[in-house]
């Protein structure tokens, strides 16, 4: 627990979805929580308008700053395996949260790696989406079964 007796909670999301802002705003109002949000990317080309915005009481951390251009518009880039997980472990080390809430298997495995070095709880926030249904890769499905 942090010195201020507030529980530091780190939520990890691919991007900041507009529908999640009220949830984070409400959590940040609690005097018991110190809310941090880690975004894998600042934006996605497939989700125009889904960009980080100030949420009173929350601190936002973007793990991969290279996913956008200087003028703030998104651009498609090839995936760079390992960049986000490496930076997530570093952010966890820096923040020393009491809990890390993840939403996918890669984030979960990175949190488990960081948990070997730091004491915190791991939570899993699952949200159904059409994208999750389209992923038919057998390796990804096996990984999901093992992690979830």
pLDDT in tens, 51-107: 888 999 999 999 886 545 445 566 655 444 445 667 899 999 999 999 999 988 888
**123 vs 104: which has the higher pLDDT:** 123
Neighbours of 133 (CB within 10 A): 8
Supply the pLDDT for residue 51. 80
pLDDT at 47 over 70: yes
pLDDT at site 135: 60
DSSP assignment, residue 57? T
Rounded Cα distance, 103 and 74, in Å: 22
**3-class state of residue 108 by DSSP:** helix
Q: What is the structure's pLDDT at 102? A: 93
End-to-end CA distance of the chain: 27
Number of C-beta neighbours around residue 26 at 10 A: 11
Determine the length of the chain: 148
């Amino acid at each position: 627990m942090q010195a201020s007796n507030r529980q530091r909670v780190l939520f990890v999301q691919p991007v900041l979805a507009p529908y999640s802002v009220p949830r984070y705003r409400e959590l940040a109002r609690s005097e018991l929580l110190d809310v941090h949000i880690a975004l894998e990317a600042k934006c996605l080309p497939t989700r125009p308008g889904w960009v980080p915005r100030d949420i009173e009481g929350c601190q936002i951390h973007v793990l991969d700053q290279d996913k956008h251009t200087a003028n703030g518009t998104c651009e498609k880039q090839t995936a760079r395996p390992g960049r986000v997980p490496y930076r997530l472990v570093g952010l966890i080390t820096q923040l020393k949260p009491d809990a890390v809430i993840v939403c996918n298997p890669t984030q979960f495995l990175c949190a488990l790696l960081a948990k070997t070095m730091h004491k915190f709880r791991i939570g899993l926030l699952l949200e159904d989406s059409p994208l999750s249904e389209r992923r038919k890769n057998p390796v990804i499905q096996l990984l999901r079964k093992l992690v979830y």
